Amino acid sequence: MAMVNHKTVIKLENVWKIYKMGEVEVVALCGLSLEIKESEFIVIMGPSGSGKSTAVNMVGCLDIPTKGRILLEGQDISHMEESELAQIRGRKIGFIFQTFNLIPSLTALQNVMLPMVFQDIEKSEREKIASNLLRRVELGDRMRHRPNELSGGQQQRVAIARSLSNNPDIILADEPTGNLDTKTGKVVMDFLHSLQEKEKKTVIVVTHDPTLAKYADKVAYLHDGKIIKLTKR
Amino acid sequence: MKLDYIMYSLNHVKNRKMRSWLTVLSILIGITAIYALVSFGQGLQIYMSELATEMGTDKLMIQPKGAMAAGFDLDFYISKEEADFISKVNGIDEVIGMYAKAIEVEHKKQKKYVFGMSLPTQGKEKDLVYDMFTVSMDQGRELKSGDKLKVTLGYNYQFANKIFSKAINIGDKISINGVSVDVVGFFESLGSAPDDSQVYLTEEGMLLIFPETEDKFQYVFARTAPGEEPSEVAERAEEKLRKFKGQKEGQEDFIIQTFEQAIEVFGTIITVINAVLLLIAMISVVVASVNIMNTMYTAVLERTKEIGVMKAIGAKNIDIMFIFLFEAGLLGLIGGALGILLGYGIAKMGGSIAASAGYGLLQPVFPLWLTIGCLLFAFFVGAFSGLMPARQASKLKPVDALRYE
Ligand SMILES: Nc1ncnc2c1ncn2[C@@H]1O[C@H](COP(=O)(O)OP(=O)(O)OP(=O)(O)O)[C@@H](O)[C@H]1O
Ligand SMILES: [Mg+2]
């Protein structure tokens, strides 16, 4: 894939994250730098505890770094207030989690509509967008089901639909196939891939599975809070 | 404001049926009590103001102080001399003294203790009494002068098993403290059981059977002159009679009041009782509030991960705050709505108990403001109780909340 003319959407500059646990300090990230271009598919790999989730959470504005800068479309988010971060999360970022994290009391449709509730989108509009998204992930016949009435793969597809509901530019998926079998995992990955291909979305996937590297434009290998290897296709 | 939170909150209240119900129950009890008590308090006020207007605002009541009830204890009375003295006070048109005594009535070998009362039979005095108690005869005739051993009876005597097991008819003979008298009439219902079981005699009849009551009025009523302010006249008369009897202010053995004032005293007592009960109801609301708070803290803890997810998908702190506040308010509101229904039922039941006890006029009223007020109160108690848990929820850091298992 040609990388020319693509602008940088995410830039991590010498990012540190240190957790203080009483007397002990845990260094989760130490001087991580990474540049992600628009419409890139990035896979982040590395051993458990290497800081993958920490890094992705910061890109997703769920947390701020102890030191260093994170630029999102040129905007420095490393010192933003929680309310501003929430705003950015809601509009620009779609999250997909390993454990699906659907709201158990809500139906599939309501789950997909929820991010739009927080963006003040009108009810009829929300319903239209959400049902379209559910049809796209082939769950048009499961809209009124609650999460506990759906299989793992179906739940993850609802979660994907939910991540797309505010039409974000960036999709962050932290081990999206971790709880799925190989076949279902492939369906999910193919879908994420198509988002990048067809909708030019920037997709960041954290995984332990080396076979998923084939989807990536770039693979970042993390170790002890640093990138030790970066491969491009 | 995003009222779509309702969807989310409603779902949660529904899904946690048992716990929600227990929490709802706790506030329901308080609201039930408040609704029933206030509706009765309102009914009572209407009852009293009706009573006062019926009696007429120009009348005064002169009573001996310290008596339990008129006619119960002949040591407490207003003497004829005192009544005559009052009639001469400036601003008083006329005065009537009435005898009353606890009496023993016998009918077909059955004995009952009730109150007997003397009624004036003619002139201005009769007008004064009939002006206050606008009742007419249900059956038979009124007492007239010269009726010594004739009586009229309260409404209830006409029926079997109300006072006596056998009904009394016009022309029957009953005996009062061993003296045989003729029944000539029955009054219409006065609306309360004690009133409807009274026995009425003429003054002559009363003195004939109970010579010891002579000069010892149990009820003295006065009519104030037109254009006079009754409460001022009452004060003036009280002061004059005090001097006449050589008593110090505050130590007089009698009391002179307008009807409104007399009823107010009775009303104040009931209002105080009502207030004490309301206070107890409020305490139960406080308990409910603690209960709701506890439920909401548990909910926040249970849904920590959910809070993290909502924040990840764009919920701001204030959104989370409102979700939990609304949910707590909803618990309150449901409790309030059910409490109002139950309170309505209980008040209605109380009303029919009052009616069957002979106080048919005392009925609860349900003004709209009470219903709306109770609903709002319940909602805000809920929301207020949810304030701290909701704040805690809103302050959770997204990453920490997401990691919570
Ligand atoms: N909230 C926290 N408090 C303290 N330490 C933390 C916290 N979050 C992460 N860490 C630590 O930071 C390091 C990196 O954690 P992180 O979750 O980013 O690893 P990971 O690469 O995602 O691992 P895995 O593959 O197991 O998910 C770990 O040592 C972890 O214990
Ligand atoms: Mg991780």
Distance (Å, whole) CA A32 – CA B85: 107
Q: Are A121 and A99 in contact (CB under 8 A)?
A: no
Backbone angles phi, psi at B86, to 5 degrees: -65, -40
- Is the Cβ of B11 closer than 8 Å to some Cβ of chain A? yes
Q: Is A106 on the interface with B (CB under 8 A)?
A: yes
Ramachandran class of A51: left when φ > 0, alpha when ψ lies in -120 to 50, beta otherwise: left
Closest CA to B63 of B266, B205, B358: B266
Cα→Cα distances B360→A200, B48, B391, Å: 80, 13, 51
Tens digit of pLDDT for each residue in A37-69? 999 999 999 999 999 999 999 999 999 999 999
Mutation test of ligand 1: which of A53, A56, A205, A208 has the most ligand atoms closer than 8 Å to its C-beta?
Answer: A53
What's the pLDDT tens digit per position in A118-159?
999 999 999 999 999 999 999 999 999 999 999 999 999 999
Does residue A17 sit at the B interface (CB-CB below 8 Å)?
Answer: no
**Quick one: tokens of B305?**
């991960």
Q: Per-residue pLDDT tens for A15-30?
A: 999 999 889 999 999 9
**Residue-level pLDDT at A75:** 92
Judge whether B108 and B166 are in contact, CB under 8 Å. Answer: yes
Residue A106, min C-alpha distance to chain B (Å): 7
- Report d(CA B320, CA B342) in Å as an integer: 33
* DSSP conformation letters of A113-135: HHHHHTTT--HHHHHHHHHHHHH
The pLDDT score that the predictor gives to residue B67 is: 63
Owner of token pair 């701001």? B316
pLDDT given at position B69: 63
- Number of other CB atoms surrounding residue B305 within 10 Å: 17
Most B CBs within 10 Å: which of A96, A116, A117, as the mutation test of the B interface?
Answer: A117
Distance from CA of B401 to the nearest CA of A (A): 10
Contact A106 B8 (CB under 8 A): yes
Alpha-carbon gap, residue A182 to B246, rounded angstroms: 109
Could you read off the pLDDT of B50-74 as tens digits, one per residue? Answer: 777 777 778 888 888 876 666 667 7
- Alpha-carbon gap, residue A30 to B183, rounded angstroms: 110
CB-based contact B94:B103 (threshold 8 Å): no
CB contact under 8 Å between A118 and B317, yes or no, is no
User: How would you class B214 by CB atoms within 10 Å of its CB: exposed for 0-12, middle for 13-18, buried for 19 or more?
Assistant: exposed
Q: Who lines ligand 1 at CB under 6 A?
A: A 19, 21, 26, 28, 46, 48-54
Cβ distance of B312 and A62 shorter than 8 Å: yes
Residue B257's pLDDT is what?
Answer: 87
Tell me the pTM.
Answer: 0.76
Q: Which atom, in ligand 1's list, is nearest to the CA of A222?
A: 21
HSE of A41 in the Cβ direction (CA atoms, 13 Å)? 22
**Long-range CB contacts (< 8 A, 24+ apart) of A190-193?**
A191/A137, A191/A157, A191/A160, A192/A41, A192/A96, A192/A160, A193/A41
Q: How many C-beta atoms lie closer than 10 Å to residue A117's C-beta? A: 24
Question: What domains, with CATH codes, occur in chain A?
Answer: 40-64+80-232 (3.40.50.300)
CA B217 vs CA B184, B204, B235, B237, B259: distances in Å: 24, 14, 20, 17, 18
Q: What is the pLDDT of residue B2?
A: 59
CB B220 within 8 A of CB B61: yes
Mean pLDDT (chain A) is 93
Q: What is the DSSP letter of B374?
A: H
Contact status, residue A180 vs residue A149, Cβ threshold 8 Å = no
- Protein residue with least CA distance to atom 29, ligand 1: A49
Which residue on chain A is closest to B310 by alpha carbon? A115
- B395 interface with A at CB cutoff 8 Å: no
| A34 confidence band (pLDDT: 50, 70, 90) | very high
Condensed to tens digits (0 to 9), the pLDDT of residues A178-205 reads 999 999 999 999 999 999 999 999 999 9
Low-confidence ranges of chain B (pLDDT < 70): 1-7, 10, 67-72, 134, 358
**Neighbour order of strands in the sheet with A75-76:** A24-37, A8-21, A67-72, A75-76
Quote ipTM for the complex: 0.94
